[in-house]
Amino acid sequence: MTYFADTAVNPTLIERFMATVSTLAADAAARQAKRRVYKTTFSELAVLSNRELADLGIARCEIRRIATEAANAQ
């Protein structure tokens, strides 16, 4: 005869807290990585002259949008 007992294990308060902290830390790291990509892209494009930007097909007013798209592509 086979006997099977299925018991549900509820996470303790400490386990739930640690999971929440871990999630918050991962989210903060992802936001920081996006921010770094945004700042790098923005600063690299901002130092170019209008002529250099025009050669790339970029208007100066598009720099923020391009940096945002680069950060969100991560």
Can you say how many angstroms the Cα of residue 40 is from the centroid of all Cα atoms in its chain?
Answer: 14
Ranges of H-type helices in 1-74: 13-46, 50-56, 63-72
Can you give the pLDDT at residue 74? 76
State the DSSP code for 4: -
Report, as an integer, the average pLDDT of 43-50: 97
**Tokens 């099977």, located at residue:** 4
3-state secondary structure of 49: coil
Judge whether residue 28 has pLDDT over 80: yes
Q: For residue 74, what are the contacts with CB-CB under 8 A and spacing of at least 6?
A: 33, 34, 37
Q: Kindly state the percentage of the chain with pLDDT values over 70.
A: 92
